[in-house]
Every structure is written in C-alpha cells, then in structure tokens.
Amino acid sequence: MATVDPTAQLREQRTRDVRADRERSVRESVAADALIARLESENAYLRQTLDAEIEPRRRADHLVAGLMERLPELMAGGTAPHDADTAPHRDDAPQKVDVSLNEARIVPKPASDGPASGWRRWWRRITEGH
C-alpha cells in the first residue's frame, strides 16, 4: 500500500487554489476593462452631446436677454418693426395663448376691420396681457 503524503496533497490543493484565483482575477480584470471602456465611450458621447447643446443654448440666452432689455420699451407702447410681407393678415393672424397653472388654451382672435387693425389688437393683447 502506498502512503499518501499529506504535505504533497496540501501543496497540490494550494496550487489548484492559486491557479483558480489567478483565473478568476484575470476574468475580473477583463470584465473591469470592458466596463471601463464602455464607461469611457458613454462619457465621450455625453461630452459630445453637451458640446452640441452649448452654442444653441448661448444663442437662446442671448435672444432672451435682448428681448428682456427691450421689454420696458415694448410695454411702454414702443413700435415694433413692421414689414408688410411678414405682417399677419386677417385670416392668418396669431391667436392669443392664455396659459394658467392648470391648463393652456388658445383664444381665437376677434374679427377685425383689416390686417393693420388685427395686428395692432394682437400686439396689444400680447404686450398688455389682455
């Protein structure tokens, strides 16, 4: 009968455990590398999206600031530039939008005597809030 050396068995078991630990470590490392690559890709996409939105946002802010500067003039009854080609006509004049906290509804414009009076009424409703 052959005698089994308990020390040899222990060494073999430790060797198998070390190999298994190395394999597990390699698998975890590969998974971590894949996760890092995916996160870097997502980060790059989000940066591109942000960069694409910055300039349009600046332009919108600039336009709003310009309108806010003109607001006192407009509220005081200043005249807006009037172009016959872009002025709304009786049939296509904008409608007033009445917005409350609970609902938004469009109020139809009343009939007018002509394109110019419709424009003036619309402008008065918008600037005076009536």
Got the DSSP string for 34-52? HHHHHHHHHHHHHHHHHHH
Does any domain span residue 38? yes
Does any domain span residue 37? yes
Per residue in 82-125, pLDDT (tens digit) is 554 555 555 555 555 444 545 555 555 555 555 666 777 777 77
Residue 108, number of CB atoms within 10 A of its CB: 8
Q: Domain span at residue 123?
A: 89-130
What is the 8-class DSSP label of residue 101? S
Per residue in 25-46, pLDDT (tens digit) is 888 899 999 999 999 999 999 9
> Long-range pairs for 16-20 at CB < 8 Å and ≥24 separation?
none
Are residues 17 and 72 part of one domain? yes
Residue 119, number of CB atoms within 10 A of its CB: 19
In angstroms, rounded to a whole number, what is the distance separating the alpha carbons of residues 25 and 31?
10
Does any domain span residue 117? yes
Are residues 95 and 56 part of one domain? no
